[in-house]
């Protein structure tokens, strides 16, 4: 694979703060993004992830802070002199220009020769698998094609940084899944430092080298997808990524107890404050046979069983009344052998999957 056809640049965000009135859109944010990295800003709407992207592109002026691309300070540079590619959420393709004119626009601004523009436009359209679409009008394209044109236009002038603002949110699920893989491949091929904004955790987990989870204008955790999922650092990240149930944990002498069950964990838990136990549906097992080592076992009563195609969801009520969700794969006859609503069930959570957090958010 011809890695890094374009040179890429590291991005360094330092102590950036942006307020709207007395609301903090960005609260003293610092991030270092490595050269050639695919970094995703993930968060709920209004979390500040888009604001941060707009600061990178130059469309939002922060109150204070620093932004460096490589060695150069960019924070006061206007957007048209930053030389970063950007894919907008609604694509922002110029309706009065054809596909080729759209893609050639940044090259015309750079006063490139006509023949060279033509060649680069064709090349770029080829890269996004739209060769031969140059003469089409924008309103003749499907959503997926518009997405590709927007991408071609963002990479045609070989920027060293590429920004994407929820570029796949308008596509249907099948197309979105395919585009995620394609974007990933394209990133590997072109090697630009890429900052991607999404509120879709699966998209973030699928595509990113690292993910920055943002909430209330602050970075809650910055880590690889696997670390983020397996070792969330706080309650917000644990709650936002995946579908977890939280159980209140009580201190029982030296040990801990949740839902009337003594629990153990292979990971350290906070020393003080009230605690919560996180339980992910797919990490909970339905136990059969003898009591196992290093597994927390919760007796429960099945309240509902839902068939969802590739997996099932089993809801069970614990002794303290909390309802837990358990997810498992639906293999041939496995589903029919599952306990039915009203029946008793033993749920197990390995010590390795037992994560305990402080109850305080942040």
Partner 1 sequence: MAANGMNATGLLRDEWMERMRLFGLSSPALLLVLAILVIPVGWLFYVSFVGADGTFSMENYERMIRRKSYARIFRTTFEVSLLTTGLCIIIGYPLAYFISQLPARLANLCMITVLLPFWTSLLVRTYAWLVLLQKRGLVNDWAITLGLWEEPLKIVHNMTGTLIGMVHIMLPFLILPVYGAMKAIDRDYLKAAANLGAGPTRAFWTVFFPLSMPGLIAGSLMVFVLCLGFFVTPAVLGGGKVILVSMKIVSNIELFVNWGAASALGVVLLALTVITLWIASRFLRLEQMTGGGR
Nearer to partner 1, 157 or 357 (CB): 157
> Which residue, among 292, 291, 302, 275, has the nearest Cα to 352 in the 3D structure?
292
Binder of partner 1 out of 24, 38, 69, 105 (CB under 8 A): 105
Binder of partner 1 out of 146, 148, 153, 199 (CB under 8 A): 153
Nearer to partner 1, 53 or 249 (CB): 53
**Least distance to partner 1, CB of residue 120, Å:** 13
Binding positions for partner 1, 40-99, rule CB under 8 A: 57-59, 78-86, 88, 90, 92-98
Nearer to partner 1, 84 or 183 (CB): 84
Q: Provide the CB-side half-sphere exposure for 44 (13 A, CA).
A: 8
> Whole-angstrom Cα distance, residue 115 to residue 102?
16
Binding mask 114-143 for partner 1 (x = CB under 8 A): -----------------------xxx----
Where does this chain touch partner 1 (CB under 8 A) — which range of 104-112, 218-226, 256-264, 330-338?
104-112
- What ranges make up the beta strands (E) of 74-205? 85-87, 161-165, 193-198
**Least distance to partner 1, CB of residue 268, Å:** 46
Nearer to partner 1, 82 or 280 (CB): 82
Nearer to partner 1, 197 or 261 (CB): 197
> Which residue, among 356, 44, 59, 61, has the nearest Cα to 218 in the 3D structure?
44
Binder of partner 1 out of 157, 236, 240, 298 (CB under 8 A): 157
> Whole-angstrom Cα distance, residue 234 to residue 174?
32
CB of 306 closer than 8 Å to CB of 313? yes
Binder of partner 1 out of 7, 64, 109, 362 (CB under 8 A): 109
CB of 295 closer than 8 Å to CB of 350? yes
Q: Is 337 among the residues that bind partner 1 (CB under 8 A)?
A: no
Nearer to partner 1, 171 or 279 (CB): 171
Nearer to partner 1, 57 or 205 (CB): 57
Any idea which residue has 């069970």 for tokens?
316
> Cα dist. 238→51, 165, 242, 355 in Å?
23, 24, 7, 9
Binding positions for partner 1, 179-218, rule CB under 8 A: none
Enumerate the β-bridge partners of residue 60: none
**Least distance to partner 1, CB of residue 288, Å:** 57
CA distance from start to end of the chain: 42
Interface with partner 1: number of residues (CB under 8 A): 31
Binding positions for partner 1, 303-332, rule CB under 8 A: none
Number of H helices, E strands in the chain: 8, 20
Enumerate the β-bridge partners of residue 69: 11, 72
Helix H segments across 192-349?
A: 201-207, 225-230, 235-240
Nearer to partner 1, 21 or 253 (CB): 21
Binding site for partner 1 (CB under 8 A): 57-59, 78-86, 88, 90, 92-98, 101, 105-106, 109-110, 137-139, 153, 157
């Amino acid at each position: 694979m011809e890695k890094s056809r374009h040179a890429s640049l590291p991005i360094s965000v330092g102590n950036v703060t942006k307020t709207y009135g007395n609301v903090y859109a960005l609260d003293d944010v610092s991030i270092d993004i490595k050269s050639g990295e695919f970094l995703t800003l993930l968060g709920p709407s209004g979390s500040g992830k888009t604001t941060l992207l707009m600061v990178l592109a130059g469309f939002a002026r922060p109150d204070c802070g620093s932004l460096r691309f490589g060695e150069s300070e960019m924070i006061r540079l206007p957007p048209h002199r930053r030389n970063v590619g950007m894919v907008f959420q609604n694509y922002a393709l110029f309706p009065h220009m054809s596909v080729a004119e759209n893609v050639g626009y940044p090259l015309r601004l750079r006063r490139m020769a006509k023949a060279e523009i033509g060649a680069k436009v064709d090349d770029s359209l080829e890269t996004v698998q739209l060769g031969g679409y140059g003469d089409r009008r924008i309103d003749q394209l499907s959503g997926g094609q518009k997405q590709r044109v927007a991408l071609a236009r963002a990479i045609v002038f070989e920027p060293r940084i590429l920004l994407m603002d929820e570029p796949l949110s308008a596509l249907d699920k099948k197309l979105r899944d395919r585009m995620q893989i394609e974007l990933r491949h394209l990133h590997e091929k072109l090697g630009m430092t890429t900052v991607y904004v999404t509120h879709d955790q699966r998209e973030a987990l699928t595509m990113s080298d690292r993910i920055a989870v943002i909430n209330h204008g602050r970075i809650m955790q910055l880590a690889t997808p696997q670390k983020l999922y397996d070792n969330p650092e706080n309650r917000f990240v644990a709650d936002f990524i995946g579908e977890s149930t939280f159980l209140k944990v009580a201190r029982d002498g030296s040990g801990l107890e949740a839902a009337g069950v003594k629990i153990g964990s292979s990971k350290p838990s906070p020393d003080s404050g009230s605690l919560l136990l996180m339980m992910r549906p797919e990490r909970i097992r339905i136990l059969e046979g003898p009591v196992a080592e290093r597994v927390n076992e919760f007796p429960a009563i099945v309240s509902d069983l839902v068939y969802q195609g590739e997996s099932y969801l089993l809801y069970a009520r614990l002794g303290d009344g909390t309802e837990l969700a358990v997810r498992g794969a639906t293999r041939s006859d496995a589903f029919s052998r599952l306990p039915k609503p009203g029946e008793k069930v033993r749920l197990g959570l390995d010590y390795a999957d037992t994560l305990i957090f402080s109850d305080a958010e942040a």
